[in-house]
Amino acid sequence: MSTRRFTLAALAALALAGCQKAEPAREAFKGIDLTGAEYARQLNLTDQDGRARSLADFKGKVAVVFFGYTQCPDVCPTTMMEVAEVKKSLGADGDKVQGVFVTIDPERDTGALLKAYLASFDPSFVGLHGSVEQTQAAAKEFKVFFAKVPGKTPDTYTMDHTAASFIFDTEGRVRVYARYGAGAEPLAHDIKLLLAEAQARK
């Protein structure tokens, strides 16, 4: 191909590209982007009021799902406080955010205990529990680790567990893995992005 023909071909390609509407770049999440993940697709447990729940129940809201236990001394209460703080900071949009606490300690965390625990953060938060087998299945689906650490007596054990939250968009799809320790600001940032996405789809 001659230089002249190559130049004309290049110009034509540029002109064609200029006619095509460019898609705006999506702002990046602060947490780990899980868009399209092949896991965290099912969650079937019982809430603090005895009702069967699944992920479909939280569609229409940005759901923040966290696996923990009520006797956790640090990670769990800190995480729930941050979710409550973000929800409150969003004003009216806070009603579009759903906190979901899944206990990894079903032997001690009854529905009544979960209800009292979560009420101290935000009464709208949902607490989920099930049998030991159901809890293990839920953790496996979310790739969450947990293990019992023996205490001085049989009832004073603690739990080692994954310290992170899973953020779902309003369509019920897992989108973000938010590591513990990042603080409320990154969490708020990612929730706002998902709320903006939902608004743009309307």
User: Pairing mode, if any, of strands 126-129 and 32-33?
Assistant: unpaired
Read off the pLDDT of residues 157-182 as tens digits, 9 standing for 90 and up. 999 999 999 999 999 999 999 999 99
Phi, psi of 190 (to 5 degrees): -70, -35
Read off the pLDDT of residues 100-117 as tens digits, 9 standing for 90 and up. 999 999 999 999 999 999
Token pair in block for residue 192: 């706002």
Q: Could you tell me the residue ranges of all domains in the chain? A: 29-201
pLDDT class of 140 with cuts at 50, 70, 90: very high
Burial class (CB in 10 A: 0-12, 13-18, 19+), 182: middle
pLDDT class of 24 with cuts at 50, 70, 90: low
Say what the pLDDT of residue 108 is: 96
Instruction: Pick 66 or 7 by higher pLDDT.
Output: 66
Q: The pTM is what?
A: 0.87
The CATH number fitting domain 29-201, selected from 3.40.50.300, 3.40.30.10, 3.30.565.10, 3.60.21.10: 3.40.30.10
